[in-house]
Chains A and B, each alone.
Chain A
Amino acid sequence: MDVRQVDERASVIDITGELTGDSEQTLAEAHDAASAPATRLIVLNFSGLEYMNSTGIGLLVTMLIRAQRQGQRIVAYGLDEHYRQIFSLTRLDEAIGIVGSEADALAAA
Chain B
Amino acid sequence: MSLEPNATPPPSTVPPAAPRSDADAWARPIARLRVDAAAAGSLPATVEGRRLAGPLQGFGQMWQKTFRVRLAGAGPEVTPQSVIAAWKQHFPEFWPSGNTFYAPLAGIRPGEVGLLSVKTAGPVRLHTGVMVTYADDESFTLMTPEGHMLAGWITFSAFRDHDGVVVAQSQALERTSDPLFELGYALRIGHRANNRFWEQTLEAVARHHGVDARCETTVLCVDRRRQWRYAGNVRHSVAFRSALHAATTPLRWLRRSR
Contact = CB atoms under 8 A, between A and B. Distances in A.
Contacts of B29: 85-86, 88-89
Interface string A50-79: 111111001001101100010000000000
Contacts of B56: 61, 64, 91-92, 94-95
Contacts of B20: 18, 50-51
B172 to A, nearest CB: 9
Given A65-B222, A88-B29, A89-B133, A52 B22 contact: yes
Contacts of B173: 58, 61-62
Nearest to B110: A89
A89 B223 CA distance: 22
A65 B52 CA distance: 20
Nearest to A62: B222
A92 B57 CA distance: 9
Interface residues of B, number: 33
Interface in B107-146: 133-134, 136, 139, 141, 143
B134 A53 contact: yes
Given A54-B155, A65-B223, A94-B57, A89 B139 contact: no
A91 B146 CA distance: 12
Given A92-B54, A92-B56, A51 B21 contact: yes
B53 interface: yes
Interface in A1-47: 18, 21
A53 B171 contact: no
Contact of A89 (B52, B62, B64): B52
Interface string B34-56: 00000000000000000111111
Interface in B1-46: 19-23, 25-30
B153 interface: yes
Contacts of B153: 54, 58, 90
B64 A62 contact: yes
B155 to A, nearest CB: 5
A95 B22 CA distance: 23
Contacts of A50: 19-20
B230 to A, nearest CB: 11
Question: Which 9 pairs of residues, A with B, have the shortest CB-CB distance?
Answer: A54-B141, A54-B134, A89-B29, A88-B29, A65-B223, A51-B20, A91-B54, A58-B173, A95-B56
Interface of B: 19-23, 25-30, 51-57, 62, 64, 133-134, 136, 139, 141, 143, 153, 155, 157, 171, 173, 222-223
26 contacts: A21-B157, A50-B19, A51-B19, A51-B20, A53-B22, A53-B136, A53-B139, A55-B157, A58-B64, A58-B153, A58-B155, A61-B55, A61-B56, A61-B173, A61-B222, A62-B173, A62-B222, A69-B223, A82-B23, A85-B26, A85-B29, A89-B28, A89-B133, A90-B52, A94-B57, A95-B56
